[in-house]
Amino acid sequence: MSAGLSGKNVVVTGSSSGIGRAIALAAAMAGANVLVHGYRNLAGAKQTADEVQALGRQSAVSMADIRDSDQQASLLEAAYQAFPRLDAWVHCAGADILTGESAKLDFQAKLDLLWSIDVRATIQLSRQVAQRLVDQQPVGPAPAMLFVGWDQALHGMEGEAGQLFCPIKGAITSYSLALAQTLAPQVRVNCIAPGWVQTAWGVATDDYWHRRAQASSLMARWGTPDDVATVAAFLISPAASFINGQTIAINGGWNYGVLPRGQTR
Q: Give the per-residue pLDDT at 263.
A: 52
Q: Is the pLDDT of residue 260 over 90?
A: no
Q: Is the pLDDT of residue 202 over 90?
A: no
* CATH code for the domain in which residue 214 is found: 3.40.50.720
Q: Does some domain include residue 265?
A: no
Q: What is the pTM of this model?
A: 0.93
Residue 226 burial (C-beta neighbours within 10 Å; 0-12, 13-18, 19+): middle
Q: How do residues 36-59 score in pLDDT, each as one tens digit?
A: 999 999 999 999 999 999 999 999
Distance CA 96, CA 129 (A): 24
Q: Does some domain include residue 57?
A: yes
Q: Does some domain include residue 92?
A: yes
Q: Does some domain include residue 255?
A: no
**Closest by Cα among 71, 73, 65, 80 to 133:** 80
Q: Does some domain include residue 190?
A: yes
Q: Give the per-residue pLDDT at 155.
A: 86
Q: Is the pLDDT of residue 264 over 50?
A: no
Q: Does some domain include residue 1?
A: no
Q: Does some domain include residue 259?
A: no
How do beta strands 59-63 and 88-91 pair?
unpaired
Distance CA 130, CA 187 (A): 8
Q: Give the per-residue pLDDT at 39.
A: 96
Number of domains, the chain: 1
Q: Does some domain include residue 101?
A: yes
Express as a percent the part of the chain with pLDDT over 90: 82
Q: Which domain holds residue 81?
A: 9-250
Q: How do residues 96-137 score in pLDDT, each as one tens digit?
A: 988 889 999 999 999 999 999 999 999 999 999 999 999 998
Q: How do residues 130-166 score in pLDDT, each as one tens digit?
A: 999 999 987 889 999 999 999 999 888 889 999 999 9
